[in-house]
Structure 1
Amino acid sequence: MQSLPSWLIGRVAARGRGLVAEALAEQGVKMMHHAVLAAVSELGPVAQADLGRRLVIDPKDLVGILNDLQADGLTVREPDPRDRRKNAVTVTPAGQDLIERCAAAAETANAQLLAPLAPAEARRLMALLARLYEA
């Protein structure tokens, strides 16, 4: 099994996700909450329904995540100025600060994942993974 690239890639990906999840947990945020917060930061203000479609998250799950983020003061939901029937989600300054801390934590976790490799090997691995992803 360890000779199958799909198995090895899956195991390395699981380890990487675990390292990042631990790093995010140290910042007080879960993976899905971070994914939603980062997407809102990138896309926002964004209609709640559009956000759910972009992230492929069930609407009721998204509502729960957004409720958590809003209760923590990380996002706000207000009527969408383009369509008052919809809610637009925006990141607060506290949410943006958390995103920046999480980015640094995720970078450290990814460095830990790649630590067994020499810098040139890590760059080569990233290039090869990008080629596989884009194929």
Structure 2
Amino acid sequence: MLTGLPSWLLTQTAQHAHRLVTEGLGAVGARGYHYRALTALDQDGPASQADLGRRSAIHLSDLVATLNELAEGGYVERAPDPADRRRNVITITAAGRRHLRRLEKQIGRIQDELLAPLSFEERAQLTGLLRKLLEHHGGPQ
């Protein structure tokens, strides 16, 4: 039966998770790309747009709009790269770090809603199994 196939179950769950994340971040005036870009900058430091796109797994065409939105909010700054003035270096601001902390709390609430029927141990097991599948199929680490 179709509804018992792991691929179908993963797809249905992924669609539900995407909806929860989109709605949950939208409720605080953000998007998933905002969270990903700010997290990459916070964890790994300033980056060129190309490097940030690779680190956050955001396509360059989507990254430009994301950075424009984040810059308008005062969450990131663009400055010419001293080594190559033709490109910009993107840096998270103090306001960006505060915004990221708010987004992390919201993401935590979303994860709790998505995984509500699972115990702490089951959540850890599910996360490990999903990571194993993704790594096997060459997905982002």
TM-score scaled by length of structure 2: 0.83
- Note the C-alpha offset of 1:115: 0.9
The amino acid of 1:129's aligned partner reads: L
The amino acid of 1:16's aligned partner reads: A
Alignment of 1:32-51 (within 5 A): 32-51=33-52
- Note the C-alpha offset of 1:105: 0.9
Q: Does 1:83 pair with 2:63?
A: no
Distance in 2 (alpha carbons) for counterparts of 1:85 and 1:24: 33
* Cα displacement string for residues 51-70 of structure 1 (whole angstroms, at most 9, x for unaligned residues): 234424134x3222211111
- Stretches of structure 1 lacking an aligned partner (at least 5 in a row): none
Q: Does 1:121 pair with 2:122?
A: yes
Task: Indicate if the aligned counterparts of 1:23 and 1:102 stay in contact, CA closer than 8 A.
Answer: no
61-70 or 106-115: bigger deviation:
61-70
Aligned counterpart, 1:58: 60
The amino acid of 2:102's aligned partner reads: R
- Stretches of structure 2 lacking an aligned partner (at least 5 in a row): 137-141
- Note the C-alpha offset of 1:133: 2.3
Structure 1 SS opposite 2:74 = coil
47-56 or 68-77: bigger deviation:
47-56
- Matched residue pairs, number? 134
Higher relative contact order structure (alpha carbons within 8 Å, sequence separation ≥ 6): 1
Distance in 2 (alpha carbons) for counterparts of 1:49 and 1:15: 30
Aligned counterpart, 2:25: 24
The amino acid of 1:31's aligned partner reads: G
Distance in 1 (alpha carbons) for counterparts of 2:51 and 2:132: 29
TM-score scaled by length of structure 1: 0.86
Aligned counterpart, 2:108: 107
- Note the C-alpha offset of 1:85: 2.1
Structure 2 SS opposite 1:2 = helix
Structure 1 SS opposite 2:4 = coil
